[in-house]
Structure 1
Amino acid sequence: MFQSFETQGNRAAGPARLAALRERMAAQGVHGFLVPRGDAHMGETVAARDQRLSWLTGFTGSAGTCAVLVDRAALFIDGRYTIQAREQVDPAFERVAIEKTPLSAWLKTALRPGQRLAYDPWLHGREQVEALERACAEAGAELAPTANLVDAAWPDQPGPPMGALSVHPDALAGEPSAAKRARLGRELAEAARDAAVLTLPDSLAWLLNVRGSDVTRMPAPHAFGLLRADGTATLFVAAAKLTDPVRRHLGNAVEIAAPEALGPALDALAGRTILLDRATCPVWIAHRLEAAGARIDWGQDPCILPKARKNAAELAGARAAHLRDGAALVRFLRWVDETAPTGAMTEIAAVEKLESLRAETGELRDISFDTICGAGPNGAIVHYRVTRDTDRTLVPGELLLVDSGAQYPDGTTDVTRTMATGPAPEGAARAFTLVLKGMIAIAMARWPAGLAGRDIDALARQALWKGGLDYDHGTGHGVGAYLGVHEGPASISRRGLVPLEPGMILSDEPGCYREGEWGIRLEILVAVTPPAVPEGGEREMLGFETLTLAPLDRRLIVPALLDPPERAWLDAYHARVAEALTPLLPDPADRDWLAAACAPLAD
C-alpha cells in the first residue's frame, strides 16, 4: 500500500509544542514566528522533515500558515479545511478563515509597536515577504529573518529525504532535455538575463527529463538548479541521489554540485542579471544574490508555462494513462455497487481495493495524492483523509465520495465519483444533478483565446447558484505529466488569472456539501484543445477534450433537471466510456456492469 491510515497530526501535543516554540522565540529575542505549510522548494508536497505546521498544530491539510505570537497563535486556512481544522487543532490555536481575514490583515491588529516578527527566509517568497513587511510597518513592528525556530524546538525531526532520481524517457517527455534547455536559454538571452535560479522540484524534473522520489505522491527531486542563457545548467543535488544512468543522461552540459555549493555559486554571479520567480523563489536566495552584487530580474520560473503546455507525446501519454485508470475504476465501481449495500464496506477497505486494482495494471508508480474516501458525513469534509481512528462503515442509503488519482509513467490521473448505496438521502439527487450540470458546462465550454480560468469558473456554478447552493473551493487545478497532481500556473477558479492555452490539463470538479450528512463532487480531467471555428461560427475558439473515462452514477441524476444538450453530452460520454473500456475488461461481469452503467439516460 502507498497510503497509510495512521493519524498524522497530534492535536493533544499542540499546547506543549506551542510553549516550546515560544521558549525559542524568547531566546531569539523575537515576539512572533510564522510557520507555513511548505518547504524551501515551495511545492505543495513536503517531506516528513518539513511538516512543521502539522508537528506544531496537528493540522494535516495541504495549505495553511500559523502565526505564533507571545500571547496568541492563529492558524490560517481556506474554506476547504474548515471542518478538518476544527477536528484536528487544539483550541490553543485560533482558526481563521483566510478568505475573510488574510494573514497580513490579522497581523496589522495583532502585532504591537516595537515587536519583532521572525520568519524563515527559506520558506517565504518575495511576494509573501513584501506583504508581511507592509503589515508589520502598519503595526509599527519589524519583520526579521531568522533560522527556523520550529526546527530548534522539534527534538526528533526527521532528516532530509534522499530519494533516488530516475530518467524520464524522451519518448514520454516529447522533447529532449537539451532542446528544452537551449530553447529556454535563448529566451533568457533575449530578455537580457544571464541565468535563472530554479527552485521548484517539478520544474527541474521537467527541464532535465528526470523524476525523483524524495516525497510521496510527487515524482520530483528535492534539488536546486541554475539555468544559463547558453543552455547549460548546474544541478545542486546530493550525490547519493544520482545513479550512473541519470549521470549519463544529464551529460556534460549539466554540472552536478552539492546542495551546499548553492550559496557560493550565487556569490559568483556578481554583476550578472538573474531571473527569480517572485512567487516561488525563497527570499534567502534573493538576499544572497543582492549581497553578492547581482542584479535580480523578478519574473516567472521559465519552466512554468512550457511545462503546463503539454506536447503531443505528453497528451498521448495522458490518454493512455486514463484508459488504464478507467478500467481499474470500472472494476472498483462495480465492487462498490455490490459491496456497499451489504453494510460490510469501510472507507479504508474502499481505499485499499482501489489502490490494489490500480496496482494490478503493472504500471502504478504511486497514488497522486492520498485518496479522499468519505462515507456519509465524512464526504462533506472536502479534503478528508481516512485514518484508523476515523474509519467509517458505509451505511446503506448513504453517499460515498471517492476522490483519487494515480501516478503512471505516462501520465497523472485525478478523478472523483460520488455514488449511492440505496435510496438517496434527502436533497442529494437534486444537488448531484446540479453539480453534474456544472461539470458538463465546463466540459462543453468554448471561449476565445486570452481568457483565463476566472472567466469560465462561473459556468460550473450557475446551476448551483440558481438552486441556492455553492462550494467553497476552486472548480479546477492544473495537472502535470507524471508530475504534480496540482500544477500551476493555470486554474479554473476566481483566482485563475493565467490565460488557458492549448495542451494545458486541468480538473473540472464542482461540488456541493451538506455538513454532517453528505458530500458530492464530480471530477474529470480535461485538456485545452487548439483554436478552431465552431460550426456556423466566425471566430476561433478554444475548448476542452475530456480525458477521464469512468461512469457517473445515473441513479443520482434527476433527468428533468438536465436540458437536451446536457443529456446529449452525458449519453455521448457514457457511450465513449463503454466503447473505450470494454476491451480492457476481461471479466464478463465487469463488461455487463459497465454496459448497464453507461446506458442512455431514461426519463
Structure 2
Amino acid sequence: MMRLMKMHGVDGYLTFTSDEHLNEYIGEGDERVKFLTGFSGSNGIAITCTHPALYTDSRYYIQAMNQSKKYKLKKMEEEEGIDEYLEKVCKCKQVGICKKFIRSRKYEDLKNKLESRGITLKPFENDLVDIIWKDRPLRAFNKVYSIEEEKFRRYQMELIELCEDSEYREALRNKLSGDDTSVVGRAFKDKLKEIRSILEPDQTLVITELDTIAWIFNLRGSDILYNPVFYSYAIVSKDSAKLFTNEKNIKMDDVDIYPYDDFVRHATGLKGRIVISGECNAYVKDLFEGIEYCDKIRLLQSQKAEVEIEGFHLSYIFDGMALVELFEWVDLSLDKGISEKVIKERLDGIKKRFSGYVQPSFESIVGGGPNGAIVHHKASDRVVSRNEVILIDSGSQYMFGTTDTTRTLHFGEPTPEEKKSYTRVLKGQLRSMRMRFKSSMQPSVLDSLSRIDLWNEMEDYGHATGHGVGHFLCVHESPPTISYSSDQLLKPRQVFSIEPGFYKEGEYGIRIENLVYLKDIDGKFYEITNLTLVPYHLRLIDTSMMSEEEVSHLNRINEEIRSTLEPFMKGKIGYRYLMENTVPIKK
C-alpha cells in the first residue's frame, strides 16, 4: 500500500468503514478497513502512513485491540484528532482519500482542518485499496421484492395458531378486526405524494440512502447481510420518479426503472435546485453545482404508521417466545458445556420456526464473563459458565417489524457487586421508560436520566443510550438518537431503544435493552411506551436499591409480559423461565 501511495504522490491515506451509500453495515467487498487492519467493527478509520493508526469508538475498542496488530489503536473520543495525528506524528504533507466513502459535510470539514495544518487532501475517484485487494468479493445484487401487498392479518392468524389454549385462541380471533391492512400501512404512491408536497416546483430530490429508498417504494432486498435493503439510488421531482437498481423484474406505476450504474449519467443532467435527502457522499455532492440538504424525508420515515407499530408489537410476541425458550435451554444446558457460538446458533434455529421471520437484524452477541465487556463481541467457541454473567444481544427481521433486545443473565449465584451493577443499569432504564416529558425536551435529557445511578458511583458507559429502529429495515435508524449530543427533537410514533450498560473490562458486561415508541398525549406532552416482551433476570436484581415506584413499574412490565406470553408457552420449554422471572417482586 505504501508503494502504491508513493506512485500516486501521497504520504498518507485514509480508509473508512463505509460504502457509497454511507451504510453502517456494508458488503464484504466494501470492508477495506478490515482488509488493511483486520478490524471488522462498523466504525473504523485506517490511517496508512509511516506510523499507521486505526481510529474507532469505545464500543469497539477491546475488539479492535484483539483484531488489529499492525495499526496503532486510537480512541475517537479521547485522543488527538485525525488531523493532528497526520501532522504531528505522521508528518504528512499530502493525504489521499476516496470521496465515495465519506459524508460530504465531513469531507469539507476534514479538508479545512488539514489545510489549516499545511496538509493537502488529495481526492481519488476510486479507492487505492481496491488495486491491491486482488480477491475482493463482488458486490451482490439480489432479488428485490415489494411488501406492499403483504397483509398484517395473515401473520396475526398464524401467531394465534401457536396458542395451545383453545378458548384463548378463539378470544384472540374475535379481537382481530376484519381490516386486511398491508404491513406497511401506506402505499408508495401516497408516500411519493407527501414527498412531492414538500418539494418546491424547481426542486429535485436525490436519495442515496438505501433504507429511505426501500421505505419510500415499499421494496426490500438482501444485498447487505442483516439489512433488507438493495443497492439503489432514486431521483424524485414534482412530476417524475426514477429508481436505479439492477433488479429487472420490478414494475411500478409511474416509476421509471433504470440500471444502478445509470445514476451518475442521470444525476449530472439534472437542472434546477438539487435537494439531498439526509446525507450523501462527497463524490455525489460534486456531481452538482450546488445542493441543499433535507431531513424531512428521514423524519417521515421515522414516524411509524399505526399498523407498523402493531407490527413491532407482534414481532415482540414472537421474539419474547424465542428468548424465554433460549434462556431456559441455556439454564438446562450449561452443565453440559456449551459455547457462546452454540447459544447463538440455537437462537437462530428457534426463530426460524416463526411465520414472517426473515433473518437476524444483526449478528447476535453472546458474551460470557469477560467477553460481555466487549460491547460488540462476536460469539466465540468459549464455553460459558453457570458462575458468570452472560450478556445476550439479539434482534430479528420480520416481514412486519424489526427487534433489538439485550438481556443480561446469571444462572448461578451472582456476586453482590454484579447485582449492584445490574440494578444500577436497570434503574436507569426504568427511569427513562416511565417518562412523560414536554415535546420540546432534548433527547440528551433521556440519555442523562439513564446514567444517573452509574454517575453517582463515578461509572459510565461509552455508547449512546438509544438509537432509532426501522420497520423491517435497518436496526439502527436515524433519527432518533439518544445520546449526549442529541439535539433533534423526538417525534410521536418513533421507535427507539433504551439500552444503558456497564462494562468491567476483563470481568463482565451488563446491558439491558428494550425497544419503545413515543406516544403523543395532548400535543404538548409525550410518553414512552414499552414494546419489548422479554423478562428481566430477577436473580440479578438487588431490590434493596430500588424505590417503591421502581418496583411497581417493574411489576407492571412483568405482568404484561406474563399475560401476553403465558398462553403460548404453556407446556413448552421456556414456560418455567417466563413464570419464574415475571413473579411480582417486593422491596
Normalising by structure 2, we get a TM-score of: 0.91
Name the CA distance, whole Å, in 2 between partners of 1:140 and 1:512: 42
- Give the alignment partner of residue 291 of structure 2, picking from 286, 291, 296: 296
Please give the per-residue CA displacement for 1:90-147, whole angstroms capped at 9, x wherever unaligned.
1x3111111023323433434647x221111111122111121112211212111112
Instruction: Identify if the C-alpha distance between structure 1 residues 312 and 193 changes in structure 2 by more than 3 Å, giving closer, same or farther.
Output: farther
Instruction: Identify if the C-alpha distance between structure 1 residues 372 and 193 changes in structure 2 by more than 3 Å, giving closer, same or farther.
Output: farther
1:305-324 to structure 2, matched below 5 A, reads 305-324=299-318
- Asked whether the 8 Å contact 1:112–1:139 carries over to 2, the reply is no
- Asked whether the 8 Å contact 1:343–1:393 carries over to 2, the reply is no
1:357 counterpart SS class: helix
1:397-416 to structure 2, matched below 5 A, reads 397-416=387-406
Gap runs ≥5 in structure 2? 150-181
Structure 2 residue 15 is matched with structure 1 residue 35: yes
Residue 6 of structure 1 corresponds to none
Residue 59 of structure 1 corresponds to 39
Instruction: Identify if the C-alpha distance between structure 1 residues 210 and 42 changes in structure 2 by more than 3 Å, giving closer, same or farther.
Output: same
Residue 366 of structure 1 corresponds to 359
Residue 121 of structure 1 corresponds to 99
1:530 shift after superposition:
0.9
Please give the per-residue CA displacement for 1:442-496, whole angstroms capped at 9, x wherever unaligned.
1011110122321221100011111232111111111000000000021111122
1:277-426 to structure 2, matched below 5 A, reads 277=277, 280-290=279-289, 295-297=290-292, 299-340=293-334, 342-387=335-380, 391-425=381-415
2:460 counterpart SS class: coil
Name the CA distance, whole Å, in 2 between partners of 1:366 and 1:351: 13
Name the CA distance, whole Å, in 2 between partners of 1:440 and 1:447: 15
1:267 shift after superposition:
2.1
Greater mean alpha carbon deviation, residues 579-588 or residues 319-328: 579-588
Name the CA distance, whole Å, in 2 between partners of 1:40 and 1:452: 31
Q: Which amino acid aligns with 2:347?
A: L
1:181-580 to structure 2, matched below 5 A, reads 181-189=192-200, 193-230=202-239, 232-238=240-246, 241-243=247-249, 246-247=250-251, 250-251=252-253, 253-270=254-271, 272-277=272-277, 280-290=279-289, 295-297=290-292, 299-340=293-334, 342-387=335-380, 391-425=381-415, 427-532=417-522, 540-580=524-564
Name the CA distance, whole Å, in 2 between partners of 1:541 and 1:439: 20
1:591 shift after superposition:
3.0
Residue 111 of structure 2 corresponds to 133
1:177 shift after superposition:
0.5
Residue 6 of structure 2 corresponds to 26
1:133 counterpart SS class: helix
Name the CA distance, whole Å, in 2 between partners of 1:133 and 1:404: 39
1:491 counterpart SS class: strand
- Asked whether the 8 Å contact 2:302–2:470 carries over to 1, the reply is yes
Structure 2 residue 153 is matched with structure 1 residue 145: no
Q: CA RMSD in A?
A: 1.6
Name the CA distance, whole Å, in 2 between partners of 1:229 and 1:463: 52
1:163 shift after superposition:
1.1
- Asked whether the 8 Å contact 1:111–1:139 carries over to 2, the reply is no
Taking only the aligned residue pairs, the percentage that are identical comes to 30
- Asked whether the 8 Å contact 1:108–1:138 carries over to 2, the reply is no
Name the CA distance, whole Å, in 2 between partners of 1:429 and 1:451: 32
2:503 counterpart SS class: strand
1:218 counterpart SS class: coil
Q: Which amino acid aligns with 2:544?
A: A
Gap runs ≥5 in structure 1? 1-20, 534-539
Q: Which amino acid aligns with 1:268?
A: G
1:398 counterpart SS class: coil
1:365 counterpart SS class: strand
Residue 178 of structure 2 corresponds to none
Instruction: Identify if the C-alpha distance between structure 1 residues 442 and 193 changes in structure 2 by more than 3 Å, giving closer, same or farther.
Output: farther
1:151 shift after superposition:
0.4
Q: Which amino acid aligns with 2:214?
A: A
Normalising by structure 1, we get a TM-score of: 0.89
1:506 shift after superposition:
0.6
1:526 shift after superposition:
0.4
- Asked whether the 8 Å contact 1:398–1:425 carries over to 2, the reply is no
Name the CA distance, whole Å, in 2 between partners of 1:103 and 1:94: 13
Q: Which amino acid aligns with 1:359?
A: K
- Asked whether the 8 Å contact 2:361–2:474 carries over to 1, the reply is yes
- Asked whether the 8 Å contact 1:433–1:558 carries over to 2, the reply is yes
Instruction: Identify if the C-alpha distance between structure 1 residues 588 and 164 changes in structure 2 by more than 3 Å, giving closer, same or farther.
Output: closer
